[in-house]
Amino acid sequence: METVEASAEATTRTHGIKLHKPEDFEGMRRAGKLAAECLDMLTPHVVPGANTEALDKLAREFVLDHGGLPACLGYRGYNHTVCISPNHVVCHGIPGERNLRDGDIVNIDVTVIVDGWHGDTSRMYPVGEIAPKARRLIDITYEALDLGLAQVKPGNTFGDIGWAIQQYVESQRCSVVRDFCGHGLGRVFHDNPNVLHFGRKGEGAVLKPGMFFTVEPMVNLGKPQVKVLNDGWTAVTRDKSLSSQCEHSVGVTEDGIEIFTASPLFRPKF
Ligand code: MF3
Ligand code: CO
Ligand code: CO
């Protein structure tokens, strides 16, 4: 195991990936918990007719009231607390005038900062009654995340995570989006490495205790290609097929994984 002595500023890195100290886990735990609680709080509000801008306001006030800062507010010109991505929106949907409709499936993604640490998580919300194919897509996405996270332990590689996700998703005749990936995080929102949701066993950097990153697969019912709309943010499937995503922030421990953004409400029950 690599250790870090000396000042609070010191950080060891392998392949440009920070190795955090045991005490840094506590910071991530608090940030991850608040992010998860924000998504928990939204659950009863994600109903037919709900306005997406109003959901964003609920999230912003919740985060601020609980000692956090919304990381996305002002991030690269983004002006909201959450991203809300319905149906064929892959990610980075902007809250606004749109009201949710019965049958929508919606991803809500929030990142909070607590004492300088980032907690980043997203999950799927069914709005009212959803179609069986939508339900199936959501189930596949959560299963894919679980399989990816099951690879997180010292000695495995980032390629093992991507491989586990890709082989499962494709076995279900769905596709993995390539244009967006997970990322290192900690005191920085988007840090090294890029965490790909596809790949080959044994490729990529080796996982070591103290690495913090997200896994956030985007899964499409149709083809993997996406395009970004003129607003510069909203990513949609090119073939208009349904898309789904879920995200956890995790840390590599001495013998496995700690999921900082876990919640009993994370995976919707159908
Ligand atoms: N939370 C997103 C992620 O998973 C990033 C959103 S950036 C924003 O990495 F600016 F669009 F909010
Ligand atoms: Co993320
Ligand atoms: Co996110």
Residues in the chain, pLDDT under 70: 1-11
| pLDDT 10s digits, 17-49 | 999 999 999 999 999 999 999 999 999 999 999
Task: Kindly give, in sequence order, each residue whose CB lies less than 8 Å from that of residue 87, ignoring residues fewer than 6 positions away.
Answer: 104, 105, 106, 242, 243
Is there an atom of ligand 1 within 6 Å of 83 CB? Answer: yes
226 DSSP β-pair partners? 237
Q: Are 160 and 201 in contact (CB under 8 A)?
A: yes
As a whole number, the mean pLDDT across the chain is 96
Is there an atom of ligand 1 within 6 Å of 196 CB? Answer: no
| pLDDT 10s digits, 141-181 | 999 999 999 999 999 999 999 999 999 999 999 999 999 99
CA dihedral over 217, 220, 225, 226, signed as positive or negative: negative
What is the percent of the chain where pLDDT is above 90? Answer: 94
Residue whose CB lies within 8 A of the most ligand 1 atoms, among 39, 108, 109, 192, for a mutation test = 109
Pick the residue whose CA is nearest to atom 2 on ligand 1: 109
Ligand 1 midpoint to CA 78 (Å): 9
Q: What is the pLDDT of residue 4?
A: 38
